[in-house]
Structure 1
Amino acid sequence: MKQGKNLFSFHRKLNNVMLVIAIVGLIICYMMTRDVKKDETSTSRIEPYQVALLEDGSKEYFIDLSSYDSQYSGLVFFTAHQSVTVYNAGHEIYSFTKTGGFWGSTPGAKYNFVSINEKMQNVAVILTPAYDIVSEKVPEFYIGNTYQIYSEFLRDSIPRLIASIFIVIFSLTLFAYYIFMNKRLNLGKDLIYLGYFSLFIGVWSTNETIAWTLVSENRIFDSIIPYICLMLSVPPFVLFFDSYLGINGKIIKKIILWASMVEFITVTSMHFLKIREFRENLMFVQLMITVAVAYVVGAIILQLLHRDFSRQVIICTIGVSLFLIAMVVDVINYYRIIGDADRLGRYMVLIFVLLLAWDLIRGTNELIEKGRRARQLEIFALTDSMTGLYNRNAFESQAESDRKLDGIIAVVADANGLKACNDTYGHEAGDEYITLVAEIFNGVFGRYGTCYRTGGDEFCCIIPSSKAVNMERLKKLFMTKIYTANLEGKYQYSIGVAIGAAMFDSELDKDFRALVKRADESMYENKKASKTV
Structure 2
Amino acid sequence: MKKSVSIVYGVLLVIGFILMALSFAFAGKKNTSFAEDSRRIELQPDRVVEVSEDVREYYFDSNQMQSEFSELTFFSVHQCVEVYADGEQIYSLEKSSTVFGRTPGTGWNTIQLQEGVKSFSVRIEAVYPAVRDHVTRFYQENDGQMVYQTMRGSVPEIMVSTVDGAIGIMLLIYYAIARRKVKMGPGILYFGIFTLMMGMWSMNEAELVAYMVKSRTAASYAGYMLIMLMIAPFAAFLQEFSEVEEKYISNIICICSFANVLVCTVLHMTGICEFKNTVFCTHFLMACDLLYLLYVILQRYRARGMDRRVRVCIWGLVILLVSYAVDMSAYYIGWRRTDVIGRFGFLLFICLLAREATAVSMEKIDEGRKAEIYRELAEHDMPTGLYNRNAYDEWASENARDRETAIVTFDLNDLKYCNDTFGHAAGDKYIQDAAKLIAEVFEPAGVCYRIGGDEFCAVIRHARSEWVEERLRRLECLERKYNEGKTDVPMRIAYGYAIFDEQYDKNMEETRNRADVKMYEKKRAIKAEERK
Candidates 45, 70, 74, aligned match of 1:77: 74
Q: Deviations over 1:198-224 (max 9, x none)?
A: 344333322211011111111111222
Q: Deviations over 1:33-87 (max 9, x none)?
A: xxxxxxxxxx232222321222584212123453554421211100011111222
Task: Describe how 1:171-210 pairs up with structure 2 within 5 A.
Answer: 171-175=168-172, 178=175, 182=179, 185-210=182-207
CA distance in 1, matches of 2:466, 2:309: 55
Candidates 190, 213, 216, aligned match of 1:216: 213
Q: Alpha carbons of 1:296 and 1:417: their partners in 2 closer, same or farther (altered >3 Å)?
A: closer
Is 1:237 matched up with 2:238? no
Letter of the 1:400 partner, please give it: S
Q: Deviations over 1:292-321 (max 9, x none)?
A: 323323543565588832333222221221
Shift of 1:176: 5.2
Shift of 1:100: 3.1
Candidates 513, 518, 532, aligned match of 1:517: 513
Q: Which runs of 5+ in 2 are unaligned?
A: 1-39
2:235 touches 2:250 (CA, 8 Å); kept in 1? yes
* 2:125 aligned counterpart, secondary structure: strand
Is 1:528 matched up with 2:524? yes
Letter of the 1:236 partner, please give it: P
CA distance in 1, matches of 2:449, 2:303: 52
2:376 is matched with 379
CA distance in 2, matches of 1:273, 1:137: 27
2:49 is matched with 52
* 1:346 aligned counterpart, secondary structure: helix
Is 1:63 matched up with 2:60? yes
1:241 touches 1:247 (CA, 8 Å); kept in 2? no
1:396 is matched with 393
* 1:318 aligned counterpart, secondary structure: helix
CA distance in 2, matches of 1:251, 1:455: 50
1:442 is matched with 439
Q: Alpha carbons of 1:494 and 1:260: their partners in 2 closer, same or farther (altered >3 Å)?
A: closer
2:414 touches 2:489 (CA, 8 Å); kept in 1? no
Candidates 330, 349, 357, aligned match of 1:360: 357
2:239 touches 2:247 (CA, 8 Å); kept in 1? no
Letter of the 1:88 partner, please give it: A
Q: Alpha carbons of 1:387 and 1:253: their partners in 2 closer, same or farther (altered >3 Å)?
A: closer
CA distance in 2, matches of 1:261, 1:471: 58
CA distance in 2, matches of 1:394, 1:265: 51
2:492 is matched with 496
Shift of 1:410: 2.0
Q: Which moved more, 1:434-443 or 1:466-475?
A: 466-475
Q: Deviations over 1:81-125 (max 9, x none)?
A: 111122222222222224334443322222111112553453211
1:74 touches 1:116 (CA, 8 Å); kept in 2? yes
Q: Which moved more, 1:494-503 or 1:81-90?
A: 494-503
Q: Deviations over 1:478-521 (max 9, x none)?
A: 12222211214x44333333222222233333332322222222
CA distance in 2, matches of 1:315, 1:53: 52
* 2:45 aligned counterpart, secondary structure: coil
1:226 is matched with 223
CA distance in 2, matches of 1:72, 1:177: 51
Q: Alpha carbons of 1:382 and 1:158: their partners in 2 closer, same or farther (altered >3 Å)?
A: same
Task: Describe how 1:184-333 pairs up with structure 2 within 5 A.
Answer: 185-246=182-243, 256-257=253-254, 259-261=256-258, 263-300=260-297, 308-333=305-330
* 2:188 aligned counterpart, secondary structure: helix
CA distance in 1, matches of 2:86, 2:302: 69
Q: Alpha carbons of 1:127 and 1:380: their partners in 2 closer, same or farther (altered >3 Å)?
A: same
2:88 is matched with 91
2:446 touches 2:458 (CA, 8 Å); kept in 1? yes
Candidates 102, 111, 116, aligned match of 2:113: 116
* 2:459 aligned counterpart, secondary structure: strand
* 1:447 aligned counterpart, secondary structure: coil
Letter of the 2:71 partner, please give it: G
CA distance in 2, matches of 1:427, 1:343: 76
Letter of the 2:369 partner, please give it: R
Q: Alpha carbons of 1:517 and 1:368: their partners in 2 closer, same or farther (altered >3 Å)?
A: same
Q: Alpha carbons of 1:64 and 1:320: their partners in 2 closer, same or farther (altered >3 Å)?
A: farther
Candidates 386, 404, 407, aligned match of 1:407: 404
CA distance in 2, matches of 1:171, 1:276: 32
Query: So what's the TM-score if we normalise by structure 1?
Result: 0.82
Shift of 1:435: 1.8
CA distance in 2, matches of 1:444, 1:305: 57
Q: Alpha carbons of 1:267 and 1:185: their partners in 2 closer, same or farther (altered >3 Å)?
A: same
Is 1:507 matched up with 2:503? yes
CA distance in 2, matches of 1:509, 1:304: 55
1:392 touches 1:454 (CA, 8 Å); kept in 2? yes
1:139 touches 1:338 (CA, 8 Å); kept in 2? no
Q: Deviations over 1:118-142 (max 9, x none)?
A: 5345321111222233222121112
Letter of the 1:500 partner, please give it: G
Tell me the matched-pair count: 490
CA distance in 1, matches of 2:452, 2:413: 13
Q: Which moved more, 1:169-178 or 1:103-112?
A: 169-178
CA distance in 1, matches of 2:519, 2:242: 60
1:73 touches 1:115 (CA, 8 Å); kept in 2? yes
Shift of 1:155: 2.9
Fraction of identical pairs, as percent: 31
Q: Alpha carbons of 1:421 and 1:230: their partners in 2 closer, same or farther (altered >3 Å)?
A: closer
* 2:371 aligned counterpart, secondary structure: helix
1:20 is matched with none
1:421 is matched with 418
CA distance in 2, matches of 1:51, 1:189: 56
Shift of 1:166: 4.0
1:78 touches 1:338 (CA, 8 Å); kept in 2? no
Letter of the 2:495 partner, please give it: I
CA distance in 1, matches of 2:100, 2:123: 24
RMSD: 3.0
Is 1:465 matched up with 2:462? yes
2:9 is matched with none
2:122 is matched with 125
Letter of the 2:274 partner, please give it: E
CA distance in 1, matches of 2:320, 2:203: 17
Is 1:139 matched up with 2:122? no
Q: Deviations over 1:172-218 (max 9, x none)?
A: 55455555655664432423432443344333322211011111111
